[in-house]
Amino acid sequence: MTNKDIQLGSHIIVVGGGTWGLSTAWHLAQRGYRNVICIDKFPYPSPDSAGYDLNKMARTEYGGEKFMQSISREALHEWRSNPLFHTVFHETGRLSIASSPASYDELQEYHRELLQSPRAGEVVWLDSGEEIRKFAPYLTGSFNEAKAVYNPEGGWVHARKAMELVGVECTRLGVQFINGPSGTASELIFNSSRSTVLGVRCLDGSIYLASRVILATGAWSDLLLDMESQLIAKCWTLAHVKLADPSERQAVKGIPVILDMEKGFFFEPDEEGYVKICNEFPGFTNYQKALVEGKEKKLSVPRGHGSHPTDTMPDRSFQEVRDLLDILKPEWRDRELLNSKMCWCTDTPDRNFLISLHPQYGRSLVLATGDSGHGFKMLPTVGKYVADLVEGREDEWQQSEVGKQLKDKWRWRPDTADKRPGDDSRPGHGGDLSEEEGWKGEGTTWSGGYIGDSSSRSRWHGQVILLTILTITLGCIVYRGLLWGL
Protein backbone atom coordinates (compact mmCIF):
# COMPACT_ATOMS: atom_id res chain seq x y z
CA MET A 1 0.00 0.00 0.00
CA THR A 2 1.10 3.60 -0.57
CA ASN A 3 -0.05 6.91 0.79
CA LYS A 4 -2.42 7.20 -2.19
CA ASP A 5 -4.84 4.69 -0.66
CA ILE A 6 -5.19 6.48 2.69
CA GLN A 7 -7.91 9.12 3.07
CA LEU A 8 -9.15 11.07 6.06
CA GLY A 9 -12.12 8.72 6.16
CA SER A 10 -10.00 5.55 6.00
CA HIS A 11 -10.21 3.14 8.91
CA ILE A 12 -7.13 2.91 11.12
CA ILE A 13 -6.62 0.55 14.06
CA VAL A 14 -4.18 1.38 16.84
CA VAL A 15 -3.47 -1.76 18.87
CA GLY A 16 -2.46 -0.72 22.37
CA GLY A 17 -3.74 2.04 24.68
CA GLY A 18 -0.43 2.75 26.37
CA THR A 19 1.99 5.65 25.88
CA TRP A 20 2.79 5.23 22.20
CA GLY A 21 -0.68 4.03 21.21
CA LEU A 22 -2.30 7.11 22.73
CA SER A 23 0.30 9.40 21.17
CA THR A 24 -0.30 7.82 17.76
CA ALA A 25 -4.10 8.05 17.96
CA TRP A 26 -3.80 11.67 19.10
CA HIS A 27 -1.55 12.71 16.21
CA LEU A 28 -3.72 10.93 13.67
CA ALA A 29 -6.84 12.62 15.02
CA GLN A 30 -5.10 16.00 14.93
CA ARG A 31 -4.39 15.40 11.23
CA GLY A 32 -8.09 14.97 10.62
CA TYR A 33 -8.52 11.17 10.45
CA ARG A 34 -12.11 10.44 11.38
CA ASN A 35 -12.15 6.64 11.80
CA VAL A 36 -9.39 5.87 14.26
CA ILE A 37 -10.03 3.21 16.88
CA CYS A 38 -7.69 2.26 19.69
CA ILE A 39 -8.13 -1.19 21.17
CA ASP A 40 -6.76 -2.40 24.48
CA LYS A 41 -7.70 -4.82 27.23
CA PHE A 42 -8.19 -1.84 29.57
CA PRO A 43 -9.55 1.70 29.27
CA TYR A 44 -6.93 4.39 28.82
CA PRO A 45 -4.50 4.74 30.33
CA SER A 46 -3.93 0.99 30.25
CA PRO A 47 -2.70 -0.22 33.65
CA ASP A 48 -0.63 -2.86 31.84
CA SER A 49 1.31 -0.05 30.16
CA ALA A 50 4.74 0.97 31.44
CA GLY A 51 3.43 4.54 31.43
CA TYR A 52 0.77 3.77 34.05
CA ASP A 53 2.97 5.21 36.74
CA LEU A 54 3.42 8.07 39.16
CA ASN A 55 6.57 9.60 37.63
CA LYS A 56 8.69 9.23 34.52
CA MET A 57 11.82 11.19 33.69
CA ALA A 58 11.87 13.71 30.87
CA ARG A 59 15.62 13.79 30.29
CA THR A 60 18.05 14.84 27.60
CA GLU A 61 21.36 13.40 28.90
CA TYR A 62 22.55 10.57 26.67
CA GLY A 63 26.31 10.41 27.10
CA GLY A 64 27.36 11.36 23.59
CA GLU A 65 24.36 9.90 21.71
CA LYS A 66 23.52 13.06 19.78
CA PHE A 67 20.58 11.51 17.96
CA MET A 68 18.78 10.67 21.22
CA GLN A 69 19.70 14.08 22.65
CA SER A 70 18.05 15.78 19.67
CA ILE A 71 14.76 13.87 19.66
CA SER A 72 14.59 14.12 23.47
CA ARG A 73 14.94 17.90 23.26
CA GLU A 74 12.18 17.98 20.67
CA ALA A 75 9.91 16.12 23.11
CA LEU A 76 11.03 18.34 25.99
CA HIS A 77 10.01 21.42 23.99
CA GLU A 78 6.49 19.96 23.70
CA TRP A 79 6.30 19.14 27.40
CA ARG A 80 7.16 22.76 28.14
CA SER A 81 5.11 24.53 25.49
CA ASN A 82 1.93 22.49 24.92
CA PRO A 83 -0.80 23.77 27.28
CA LEU A 84 -2.18 20.22 27.52
CA PHE A 85 0.75 19.23 29.73
CA HIS A 86 1.22 22.26 31.94
CA THR A 87 -0.25 20.52 35.02
CA VAL A 88 1.78 17.30 34.67
CA PHE A 89 5.27 18.39 33.57
CA HIS A 90 7.68 19.50 36.31
CA GLU A 91 10.99 20.94 35.14
CA THR A 92 12.99 20.25 38.28
CA GLY A 93 16.19 19.25 36.49
CA ARG A 94 18.26 16.21 37.42
CA LEU A 95 21.14 15.63 39.82
CA SER A 96 23.30 12.73 38.61
CA ILE A 97 25.63 11.27 41.21
CA ALA A 98 28.63 8.97 40.74
CA SER A 99 28.90 7.51 44.23
CA SER A 100 32.10 5.60 43.40
CA PRO A 101 35.00 5.94 40.93
CA ALA A 102 33.37 3.24 38.73
CA SER A 103 30.97 5.89 37.36
CA TYR A 104 33.31 8.89 37.11
CA ASP A 105 33.92 8.52 33.38
CA GLU A 106 30.24 8.35 32.53
CA LEU A 107 29.49 11.33 34.76
CA GLN A 108 32.23 13.38 33.10
CA GLU A 109 30.78 12.46 29.69
CA TYR A 110 27.41 13.79 30.88
CA HIS A 111 29.11 16.98 32.02
CA ARG A 112 30.88 17.53 28.70
CA GLU A 113 27.59 16.97 26.90
CA LEU A 114 25.71 19.41 29.13
CA LEU A 115 28.28 22.14 28.53
CA GLN A 116 27.02 22.16 24.93
CA SER A 117 23.34 22.29 25.95
CA PRO A 118 21.03 25.32 25.68
CA ARG A 119 21.28 25.96 29.44
CA ALA A 120 25.00 25.26 29.82
CA GLY A 121 25.48 28.31 32.02
CA GLU A 122 23.27 26.77 34.72
CA VAL A 123 24.99 23.37 34.77
CA VAL A 124 26.78 22.71 38.07
CA TRP A 125 29.71 20.33 38.61
CA LEU A 126 30.04 19.07 42.19
CA ASP A 127 33.46 17.61 42.87
CA SER A 128 33.07 16.16 46.35
CA GLY A 129 30.61 14.89 48.91
CA GLU A 130 30.90 18.20 50.73
CA GLU A 131 29.88 20.13 47.61
CA ILE A 132 26.98 17.73 47.01
CA ARG A 133 25.64 18.18 50.53
CA LYS A 134 25.95 21.95 50.26
CA PHE A 135 24.08 21.97 46.92
CA ALA A 136 21.49 19.41 48.04
CA PRO A 137 21.19 19.52 51.85
CA TYR A 138 18.13 17.26 51.70
CA LEU A 139 20.46 14.38 50.75
CA THR A 140 21.90 12.89 53.93
CA GLY A 141 24.24 10.13 52.71
CA SER A 142 27.96 10.19 53.42
CA PHE A 143 29.04 10.58 49.75
CA ASN A 144 32.66 9.85 50.69
CA GLU A 145 33.83 9.26 47.11
CA ALA A 146 31.00 10.95 45.26
CA LYS A 147 30.95 13.50 42.47
CA ALA A 148 27.84 14.88 40.78
CA VAL A 149 26.50 17.11 38.03
CA TYR A 150 23.29 19.13 38.08
CA ASN A 151 21.38 19.62 34.82
CA PRO A 152 18.61 22.26 35.03
CA GLU A 153 17.01 20.94 31.84
CA GLY A 154 14.20 18.38 32.02
CA GLY A 155 12.69 16.81 35.09
CA TRP A 156 9.69 14.55 35.49
CA VAL A 157 6.13 13.97 34.30
CA HIS A 158 3.14 12.63 36.20
CA ALA A 159 2.92 9.78 33.73
CA ARG A 160 -0.54 8.35 34.34
CA LYS A 161 -2.17 11.77 34.41
CA ALA A 162 -0.39 12.78 31.19
CA MET A 163 -1.74 9.69 29.45
CA GLU A 164 -5.24 10.46 30.74
CA LEU A 165 -5.01 13.97 29.30
CA VAL A 166 -4.01 12.62 25.89
CA GLY A 167 -6.79 10.02 26.04
CA VAL A 168 -9.40 12.67 26.83
CA GLU A 169 -8.11 14.79 23.95
CA CYS A 170 -8.28 11.77 21.62
CA THR A 171 -11.92 11.22 22.59
CA ARG A 172 -12.70 14.89 21.98
CA LEU A 173 -11.18 14.59 18.52
CA GLY A 174 -13.27 11.52 17.68
CA VAL A 175 -11.02 8.54 18.45
CA GLN A 176 -13.04 5.48 19.44
CA PHE A 177 -11.74 3.34 22.30
CA ILE A 178 -12.77 -0.32 22.63
CA ASN A 179 -11.80 -2.33 25.73
CA GLY A 180 -12.42 -5.64 27.45
CA PRO A 181 -12.49 -8.89 25.44
CA SER A 182 -13.67 -6.91 22.40
CA GLY A 183 -10.51 -4.80 22.60
CA THR A 184 -7.98 -7.48 23.50
CA ALA A 185 -6.10 -8.36 20.32
CA SER A 186 -5.49 -12.08 19.85
CA GLU A 187 -4.13 -12.20 16.28
CA LEU A 188 -3.60 -10.24 13.10
CA ILE A 189 -5.71 -11.00 10.00
CA PHE A 190 -3.88 -11.36 6.67
CA ASN A 191 -4.93 -11.67 3.04
CA SER A 192 -4.62 -15.07 1.37
CA SER A 193 -1.05 -14.48 0.24
CA ARG A 194 -0.01 -13.03 3.61
CA SER A 195 1.29 -9.92 1.89
CA THR A 196 -1.13 -7.50 3.57
CA VAL A 197 -2.52 -7.09 7.09
CA LEU A 198 -6.27 -6.63 6.82
CA GLY A 199 -7.15 -6.16 10.45
CA VAL A 200 -7.21 -7.63 13.96
CA ARG A 201 -9.18 -10.40 15.64
CA CYS A 202 -9.87 -9.95 19.36
CA LEU A 203 -10.34 -12.30 22.26
CA ASP A 204 -14.12 -12.54 21.94
CA GLY A 205 -13.98 -13.14 18.19
CA SER A 206 -14.63 -9.53 17.18
CA ILE A 207 -12.91 -8.53 13.95
CA TYR A 208 -11.79 -5.02 13.02
CA LEU A 209 -10.79 -4.38 9.41
CA ALA A 210 -8.77 -1.35 8.39
CA SER A 211 -6.50 0.26 5.80
CA ARG A 212 -3.74 0.55 8.39
CA VAL A 213 -2.96 -1.48 11.49
CA ILE A 214 -0.53 0.04 13.98
CA LEU A 215 1.10 -2.18 16.60
CA ALA A 216 1.84 -0.02 19.63
CA THR A 217 1.91 -3.05 21.87
CA GLY A 218 5.12 -2.58 23.86
CA ALA A 219 6.22 -5.66 25.76
CA TRP A 220 3.36 -7.66 24.18
CA SER A 221 4.53 -7.10 20.58
CA ASP A 222 6.29 -10.45 20.28
CA LEU A 223 3.07 -12.28 21.20
CA LEU A 224 1.19 -10.93 18.15
CA LEU A 225 3.89 -11.03 15.49
CA ASP A 226 7.21 -12.79 15.03
CA MET A 227 9.68 -10.00 15.70
CA GLU A 228 12.64 -12.18 14.69
CA SER A 229 14.43 -11.79 18.04
CA GLN A 230 14.61 -7.99 17.79
CA LEU A 231 12.64 -7.50 21.01
CA ILE A 232 12.88 -8.87 24.53
CA ALA A 233 10.21 -8.03 27.10
CA LYS A 234 11.84 -6.92 30.35
CA CYS A 235 10.58 -5.46 33.58
CA TRP A 236 12.05 -2.95 35.96
CA THR A 237 11.02 -2.65 39.59
CA LEU A 238 9.82 0.22 41.72
CA ALA A 239 8.32 1.02 45.11
CA HIS A 240 7.19 4.07 47.08
CA VAL A 241 7.59 5.55 50.52
CA LYS A 242 4.96 7.91 51.91
CA LEU A 243 5.97 11.10 53.66
CA ALA A 244 3.11 11.69 56.06
CA ASP A 245 4.75 14.59 57.91
CA PRO A 246 4.02 17.85 56.03
CA SER A 247 7.36 19.37 57.08
CA GLU A 248 9.28 16.36 55.78
CA ARG A 249 7.31 16.51 52.54
CA GLN A 250 8.02 20.22 52.15
CA ALA A 251 11.77 19.68 52.67
CA VAL A 252 12.01 17.65 49.44
CA LYS A 253 9.31 19.41 47.43
CA GLY A 254 10.62 20.68 44.09
CA ILE A 255 13.97 18.88 44.30
CA PRO A 256 15.59 17.60 41.09
CA VAL A 257 15.25 14.00 40.04
CA ILE A 258 17.99 12.30 42.09
CA LEU A 259 19.96 9.65 40.18
CA ASP A 260 22.71 7.48 41.60
CA MET A 261 24.25 6.13 38.41
CA GLU A 262 24.96 2.73 39.92
CA LYS A 263 22.04 2.19 42.29
CA GLY A 264 18.91 3.96 41.02
CA PHE A 265 16.81 7.10 41.43
CA PHE A 266 13.91 8.81 43.16
CA PHE A 267 11.62 11.81 42.60
CA GLU A 268 10.08 14.57 44.66
CA PRO A 269 6.83 13.57 46.44
CA ASP A 270 3.48 13.93 44.74
CA GLU A 271 0.63 15.90 46.29
CA GLU A 272 -0.21 12.96 48.58
CA GLY A 273 3.38 12.54 49.76
CA TYR A 274 4.32 9.45 47.77
CA VAL A 275 7.94 9.21 46.63
CA LYS A 276 8.69 6.79 43.80
CA ILE A 277 12.00 4.90 44.08
CA CYS A 278 13.58 2.70 41.39
CA ASN A 279 16.62 0.46 41.73
CA GLU A 280 19.02 0.47 38.75
CA PHE A 281 19.67 -2.91 37.11
CA PRO A 282 19.46 -4.57 33.66
CA GLY A 283 15.86 -5.75 34.10
CA PHE A 284 14.18 -9.13 34.57
CA THR A 285 12.90 -11.41 31.83
CA ASN A 286 10.10 -13.98 32.15
CA TYR A 287 10.81 -16.75 29.65
CA GLN A 288 7.87 -19.02 28.77
CA LYS A 289 6.70 -21.12 25.85
CA ALA A 290 4.30 -19.11 23.70
CA LEU A 291 2.39 -19.70 20.47
CA VAL A 292 3.02 -16.94 17.90
CA GLU A 293 1.51 -17.16 14.42
CA GLY A 294 0.92 -20.87 14.94
CA LYS A 295 4.49 -21.64 15.99
CA GLU A 296 5.73 -22.40 19.48
CA LYS A 297 8.52 -20.12 20.62
CA LYS A 298 10.32 -19.42 23.87
CA LEU A 299 9.75 -15.76 24.67
CA SER A 300 9.96 -13.40 27.60
CA VAL A 301 6.26 -12.98 28.41
CA PRO A 302 5.16 -9.83 30.29
CA ARG A 303 2.94 -9.88 33.38
CA GLY A 304 1.41 -6.41 33.32
CA HIS A 305 0.30 -4.95 36.62
CA GLY A 306 -3.23 -4.37 35.35
CA SER A 307 -3.60 -8.08 34.56
CA HIS A 308 -1.66 -9.21 37.65
CA PRO A 309 -2.34 -6.54 40.29
CA THR A 310 -1.12 -8.64 43.20
CA ASP A 311 2.34 -9.17 41.72
CA THR A 312 4.91 -7.09 43.61
CA MET A 313 8.65 -7.33 42.95
CA PRO A 314 11.35 -9.86 43.86
CA ASP A 315 12.83 -9.91 47.35
CA ARG A 316 16.16 -8.87 45.86
CA SER A 317 14.61 -5.70 44.46
CA PHE A 318 13.29 -4.69 47.88
CA GLN A 319 16.82 -5.00 49.22
CA GLU A 320 18.28 -3.01 46.31
CA VAL A 321 15.79 -0.18 46.88
CA ARG A 322 16.86 -0.07 50.52
CA ASP A 323 20.53 -0.08 49.49
CA LEU A 324 19.84 2.93 47.25
CA LEU A 325 18.15 4.79 50.10
CA ASP A 326 21.06 3.94 52.39
CA ILE A 327 23.35 5.87 50.03
CA LEU A 328 21.11 8.86 49.31
CA LYS A 329 18.60 9.19 52.15
CA PRO A 330 19.50 6.82 55.04
CA GLU A 331 16.59 7.93 57.24
CA TRP A 332 14.21 6.43 54.66
CA ARG A 333 15.98 3.08 54.47
CA ASP A 334 13.71 1.22 56.87
CA ARG A 335 10.45 2.90 55.89
CA GLU A 336 7.61 0.71 54.68
CA LEU A 337 7.87 0.22 50.90
CA LEU A 338 4.43 0.64 49.34
CA ASN A 339 2.81 -0.11 45.99
CA SER A 340 5.76 -2.08 44.70
CA LYS A 341 5.43 -3.44 41.19
CA MET A 342 7.17 -4.43 37.97
CA CYS A 343 7.04 -2.11 34.96
CA TRP A 344 7.21 -3.95 31.60
CA CYS A 345 9.05 -2.51 28.60
CA THR A 346 10.57 -4.07 25.49
CA ASP A 347 14.28 -3.82 24.66
CA THR A 348 15.87 -3.71 21.23
CA PRO A 349 19.51 -4.84 20.96
CA ASP A 350 20.81 -1.29 20.44
CA ARG A 351 18.08 0.41 22.53
CA ASN A 352 16.93 2.48 19.60
CA PHE A 353 13.19 2.36 18.96
CA LEU A 354 11.48 0.13 16.38
CA ILE A 355 9.24 2.55 14.47
CA SER A 356 8.98 1.19 10.98
CA LEU A 357 6.98 -0.51 8.30
CA HIS A 358 7.19 -4.29 8.24
CA PRO A 359 9.11 -5.39 5.11
CA GLN A 360 6.65 -8.19 4.37
CA TYR A 361 3.38 -6.27 4.71
CA GLY A 362 4.07 -2.89 3.14
CA ARG A 363 2.20 0.07 4.56
CA SER A 364 -0.67 -2.07 5.87
CA LEU A 365 1.25 -2.67 9.11
CA VAL A 366 3.12 0.03 11.03
CA LEU A 367 5.27 -0.91 14.03
CA ALA A 368 5.60 1.45 17.00
CA THR A 369 7.43 -0.50 19.69
CA GLY A 370 10.89 -1.15 21.16
CA ASP A 371 10.76 1.62 23.78
CA SER A 372 13.83 0.09 25.48
CA GLY A 373 12.97 1.61 28.85
CA HIS A 374 13.21 5.25 27.75
CA GLY A 375 10.16 5.78 25.58
CA PHE A 376 7.68 7.55 27.86
CA LYS A 377 9.26 10.99 27.50
CA MET A 378 8.34 10.76 23.79
CA LEU A 379 4.59 10.83 24.51
CA PRO A 380 4.09 14.33 23.00
CA THR A 381 5.98 13.59 19.77
CA VAL A 382 6.37 9.90 18.93
CA GLY A 383 2.92 9.69 17.35
CA LYS A 384 3.99 12.26 14.78
CA TYR A 385 6.55 9.85 13.35
CA VAL A 386 4.10 6.94 13.37
CA ALA A 387 1.51 9.08 11.59
CA ASP A 388 4.13 9.96 8.96
CA LEU A 389 4.57 6.24 8.26
CA VAL A 390 0.81 5.80 8.01
CA GLU A 391 0.70 8.55 5.40
CA GLY A 392 3.89 7.64 3.54
CA ARG A 393 5.62 10.89 4.44
CA GLU A 394 8.84 9.51 5.91
CA ASP A 395 10.86 10.88 2.98
CA GLU A 396 10.24 14.30 4.51
CA TRP A 397 12.44 13.26 7.43
CA GLN A 398 15.42 13.79 5.14
CA GLN A 399 14.96 17.54 5.45
CA SER A 400 16.73 17.67 8.83
CA GLU A 401 19.97 16.20 10.14
CA VAL A 402 18.14 14.24 12.82
CA GLY A 403 15.51 13.09 10.36
CA LYS A 404 18.15 11.63 8.09
CA GLN A 405 19.04 9.20 10.89
CA LEU A 406 15.50 8.16 11.81
CA LYS A 407 14.93 5.52 9.13
CA ASP A 408 18.24 3.83 9.90
CA LYS A 409 18.05 4.02 13.69
CA TRP A 410 14.42 2.87 13.89
CA ARG A 411 14.32 0.43 10.98
CA TRP A 412 13.24 -3.23 10.99
CA ARG A 413 16.62 -4.77 11.87
CA PRO A 414 16.72 -8.51 12.71
CA ASP A 415 20.38 -8.35 11.65
CA THR A 416 21.09 -6.77 15.07
CA ALA A 417 19.48 -9.58 17.09
CA ASP A 418 22.78 -11.39 17.73
CA LYS A 419 24.51 -8.17 18.80
CA ARG A 420 22.52 -7.68 21.98
CA PRO A 421 24.75 -6.49 24.84
CA GLY A 422 24.93 -8.56 28.00
CA ASP A 423 23.66 -7.63 31.44
CA ASP A 424 26.99 -5.99 32.24
CA SER A 425 26.13 -3.11 29.90
CA ARG A 426 23.93 -1.73 32.69
CA PRO A 427 24.68 -1.46 36.41
CA GLY A 428 23.55 -4.22 38.72
CA HIS A 429 22.44 -7.76 38.01
CA GLY A 430 19.41 -8.89 35.99
CA GLY A 431 18.13 -12.42 35.43
CA ASP A 432 14.86 -14.24 34.88
CA LEU A 433 11.87 -14.09 37.23
CA SER A 434 11.92 -17.87 37.48
CA GLU A 435 15.10 -17.46 39.54
CA GLU A 436 13.58 -14.90 41.92
CA GLU A 437 11.37 -15.18 44.99
CA GLY A 438 8.67 -13.13 46.61
CA TRP A 439 7.16 -11.36 43.59
CA LYS A 440 4.34 -13.52 42.30
CA GLY A 441 0.82 -12.68 43.42
CA GLU A 442 -2.46 -14.46 42.96
CA GLY A 443 -5.34 -13.71 40.59
CA THR A 444 -5.54 -11.80 37.33
CA THR A 445 -8.34 -9.26 37.87
CA TRP A 446 -7.42 -5.60 37.91
CA SER A 447 -8.22 -3.99 41.25
CA GLY A 448 -8.24 -0.53 39.70
CA GLY A 449 -6.72 2.82 40.47
CA TYR A 450 -3.27 3.89 41.58
CA ILE A 451 -2.33 4.74 45.16
CA GLY A 452 -5.76 5.49 46.46
CA ASP A 453 -7.26 6.54 43.12
CA SER A 454 -10.92 5.55 43.17
CA SER A 455 -12.03 7.44 40.06
CA SER A 456 -10.21 5.13 37.63
CA ARG A 457 -11.52 2.10 39.50
CA SER A 458 -15.12 3.29 39.24
CA ARG A 459 -14.73 4.17 35.57
CA TRP A 460 -13.30 0.73 34.79
CA HIS A 461 -16.00 -1.19 36.67
CA GLY A 462 -18.67 0.89 34.94
CA GLN A 463 -17.20 0.09 31.56
CA VAL A 464 -17.02 -3.62 32.40
CA ILE A 465 -20.76 -3.62 33.14
CA LEU A 466 -21.48 -1.71 29.94
CA LEU A 467 -19.30 -4.07 27.89
CA THR A 468 -21.09 -7.08 29.37
CA ILE A 469 -24.48 -5.68 28.34
CA LEU A 470 -23.22 -4.85 24.88
CA THR A 471 -21.66 -8.28 24.45
CA ILE A 472 -24.98 -9.98 25.25
CA THR A 473 -26.95 -7.61 23.02
CA LEU A 474 -24.56 -7.84 20.10
CA GLY A 475 -23.47 -11.41 20.66
CA CYS A 476 -24.63 -12.49 17.24
CA ILE A 477 -22.46 -9.89 15.52
CA VAL A 478 -18.99 -11.29 15.15
CA TYR A 479 -17.60 -9.33 12.27
CA ARG A 480 -17.40 -5.85 13.72
CA GLY A 481 -15.87 -4.70 10.47
CA LEU A 482 -19.40 -4.83 9.03
CA LEU A 483 -20.40 -2.07 11.44
CA TRP A 484 -17.79 0.13 9.76
CA GLY A 485 -19.36 -0.44 6.34
CA LEU A 486 -16.39 -2.51 5.09
Q: Is 462 inside any structural domain?
A: no
Contact 272, 253 (CB under 8 A): no
pLDDT at residue 424 in the model: 58
- Cα–Cα distance for residue pair 19/50, rounded to 1 Å: 8
Amino acid of residue 263: K
Q: Is 441 inside any structural domain?
A: no
pLDDT at 133 over 80: yes
Q: Is 477 inside any structural domain?
A: no
Mean pLDDT across 6-31 = 98
Q: Is 3 inside any structural domain?
A: no
- The β-bridge relationship of strands 155-158 and 89-90 is antiparallel
pLDDT at residue 304 in the model: 96
How many structural domains compose the chain? Answer: 1
**327-341, 408-422, 433-447 — which one is most confidently predicted on average?**
327-341
In this predicted model, which residue has the larger pLDDT, 201 or 293?
A: 201
pLDDT at 318 over 80: yes
- pLDDT, tens digit, 9 for 90 and up, residues 55-91: 999 998 887 788 998 999 999 999 999 999 999 999 9
Torsions phi, psi for 335 (to 5 deg): -70, 155
Least confident segment among 8-12, 57-61, 174-178, 410-414: 57-61
Q: Is 470 inside any structural domain?
A: no
Q: Is 463 inside any structural domain?
A: no
pLDDT at 463 over 70: no
* Greatest Cα pair distance in the chain: 72
- Cα–Cα distance for residue pair 334/323, rounded to 1 Å: 10
pTM for this predicted structure: 0.89
- Cα–Cα distance for residue pair 461/343, rounded to 1 Å: 23
DSSP string, 367-419: EEE--TT--GGGTTTHHHHHHHHHHT-GGGGGGSHHHHHHHHHTS--GGGGGG
- Name every residue whose Cβ is closer than 8 Å to that of residue 455 and which is 6 or more positions away in sequence: 449
Least confident segment among 277-281, 288-292, 411-415, 461-465: 461-465
Q: What is the CATH number of the domain that holds 350?
A: 3.50.50.60
Q: Is 90 helix (H, G, I), strand (E, B) or coil?
A: strand
Nearest to 208, CA basis, from 217, 199, 216 = 199
Q: Is 354 inside any structural domain?
A: yes
Q: Is 179 inside any structural domain?
A: yes
- Cα–Cα distance for residue pair 369/354, rounded to 1 Å: 5
pLDDT at residue 422 in the model: 61
pLDDT band, very low/low/confident/very high, at 425 (cuts 50, 70, 90): low
Mean pLDDT across 318-331 = 98
Q: Enter the DSSP assignment of 483.
A: G
pLDDT at 98 over 70: yes
- Cα–Cα distance for residue pair 35/53, rounded to 1 Å: 29
- What is the average pLDDT score of the chain? 90
Nearest to 167, CA basis, from 51, 340, 334 = 51
Q: Which helix (H) or strand (E) element contains residue 189?
A: strand 185-190
Peptide bond into 45 cis (omega under 30): yes
pLDDT at residue 418 in the model: 87
pLDDT at residue 475 in the model: 39
Domain of 273 in residue numbering reads as 12-435
